[in-house]
Amino acid sequence: MFAIHAMPVLAQDEGLVLLPDTAELIWGVVAFAILMAFMSWFVFPRLNQGLETRQQAVQSSLEDAERAKHEAEEARREYQARIDEARQEADRILQEAREQAEEVRREAASRGEEEARQIVERAREDIEAERSRLVSELRGQVATLAVDLAGRIVEKEIDADRHTELVDRYIDELVGSN
């Protein structure tokens, strides 16, 4: 564009320095000002618009990420609450099962005790019935033996009904004394 005419100037002990011509310097400043004005009206606004768009996109992404983080945290809290609720439910079910098992055990023990009591009661009734049957049988045998024995001793037959009555009275006296 412009030819730069430099003129060597000797500085005091520093060596050779190149300085541009004044007209070139003015044209350079004017060209720079025009370039800056062009960039300010056309390039910088588009550049700023692109930067703002990018900044908004980044900001939007950050907000989305923050929102997703909050949603994930909320989902984690909800999940933890469900886990805690499930654990409480499991503990409650286990406790109910233990209580039911204890109730079944108590009922079984109670039924066992009741059955044992009934068995003992039936055994007592059976023993009493057997005792009564044996006593009756023994009375009959004793009466028969007594009649036979008395008949031999007295050498005459005692009436069986009368003799049975005597033997029964004698046995009742024996049982009453024991």
For residue range 51-103, list pLDDT tens digits in order.
999 999 999 999 999 999 999 999 999 999 999 999 999 999 999 999 999 99
Cβ-based neighbour number of residue 25 at 10 Å = 13
The 10s digit of each residue's pLDDT in 43-61 is 999 999 999 999 999 999 9
Q: CA-to-CA distance for 114 and 121, rounded, in angstroms?
A: 10
Domain locations in the chain? 8-177
pLDDT, residue 105, reads 92
Comparing 45 with 6, the larger pLDDT belongs to: 45
Contact 153, 170 (CB under 8 A): no
The pLDDT of residue 13 is above 60? no
Q: CA-to-CA distance for 24 and 76, rounded, in angstroms?
A: 71
Q: Can you give the pTM of this predicted structure?
A: 0.39
Comparing 139 with 42, the larger pLDDT belongs to: 42
Contact 151, 157 (CB under 8 A): yes
pLDDT, residue 99, reads 95
- Ramachandran area for residue 6 (φ above 0: left; ψ -120 to 50: alpha; else beta): beta
The 10s digit of each residue's pLDDT in 124-176 is 999 999 888 888 887 777 777 777 666 666 655 667 777 778 778 878 877 77
